[in-house]
Amino acid sequence: MSEKAKKRMLPQAVSGEKVVLFLAIVFVFILFTSLNKNYLSVTNIVNILIAASLVGMVAIGHTYLIIAMQNDLSPGSLAALSGVTVALFLKAGLPIPLAIILTICVGIVVGIFNAWMVNKIQIEAFIATLVSQMIVRGAAYIICDGKPVSISNQAFNKLGSVRFIGIPFAVWTMIICMCVFGFILSKTKFGRSVYAIGGNKQAARLAGLDPQRIILTSFIMMGILTSMGGIVFAARMNAGQPAANINLEFDAITAVVLGGTSFAGGVGDMTGTFIGIILIQAFNTGLTMVNVSSFWQYVARGALLLFALTSDYIRKQRREKELLEASMKNA
């Protein structure tokens, strides 16, 4: 099948998936507004965006990794470690910029460690990052003796409360990162390389690409984004909390897959990820506002993840069928 045929077909499928996602968001808003009239208030919409900001930062990194056929289960632990680390640095009297830079360096180290396990000792990303999830969470507890670390630096805490044209800093951080990393993914050589190794790693290697370098870069990006999210979250909470952000990575993965990024690799975009983030956070917030038990919320989130994975499987089967039919027509 010609490349032209592929390019004609895939955008049509992708645009159709976006329409379905928009309709799902509309349905969620209508459903929960009918159950709680305050759901559609401006205050609640802003709260949804604030809650989505940390998930969004992690989902940006997951978009790259999943397109490249990788995964990362450590972001929840790293976000907690980053919050505790920046709190301890500030408590020790370090200037805010230095505390932030050093904390981001912690994220980079975790990213390098994950990539080393995947590239050098050939551990599957799922298992490798499960290892780092436990190590990093343990480190977060150890360095603060298992207790939250309060942040008294008011200038830093303003990062969690300051607003620009009514939108909190945390949301602007997510939006800016979404735009920057979306541009890198769709318009640069590195972005095309991520798609290439996700589509066919061996073919990408034969074409002169270095899959290990691309995977390393993607994991480092994930570490940086997660640490940034953890820092802003600590500013919002005025404390570094070692027990925070448990299961954060699963919400991010659900959002990315709902947005059309395929676990089979090579397919996805940042626009779909953004829509997926809004959908899952609107859903989670709605469950809380209609007083659904936290136990049932776990069940609902699990069901949503199952729905996302099932949708990904159906999309993959449909793409393969369309590609086969197109190749037969062009044979």
**Is the model's pLDDT at 240 over the cut of 50?**
yes
CB 297 within 8 A of CB 39: no
Q: Is the dihedral of CA 298, 222, 176, 264 positive or negative?
A: negative
Q: Residues 176-229: pLDDT tens digits?
A: 999 999 999 999 999 999 999 998 888 888 888 999 999 999 999 999 999 999
Q: Whole-model pTM? A: 0.88
C-alpha span between 128 and 58 (Å, rounded): 18
Q: What is the CATH number of the domain that holds 46?
A: 1.10.3470
Contacts of 305 (CB under 8 A, 6+ apart): 250, 253, 254, 257
**DSSP letters spanning 309-329:** HHHHHHHHHHHHHHHHHHHHH
Question: For 35-74, how does the pLDDT look when each residue is reduced to its tens digit (9 = 90+)?
Answer: 999 998 988 999 999 999 999 999 999 999 999 999 999 9
Task: Please state, in angstroms and rounded to a whole number, the distance separating the CA atoms of residues 209 and 256.
Answer: 25
On whether the CB atoms of residues 171 and 49 are closer than 8 A, the answer is yes
> Over the chain, what is the mean pLDDT?
89
Greater confidence (98 vs 264) lies with 98
Task: Answer yes or no: is pLDDT of 287 > 50.
Answer: yes
CA gap 98, 183 in Å, rounded: 28
The total domain count for the chain is 1
Give the domain range for residue 35: 3-329
Report the number of secondary-structure helices (H) and strands (E) in the chain: 13, 4
Among candidate residues 249, 275, 195, the one with its CA nearest the CA of residue 59: 249
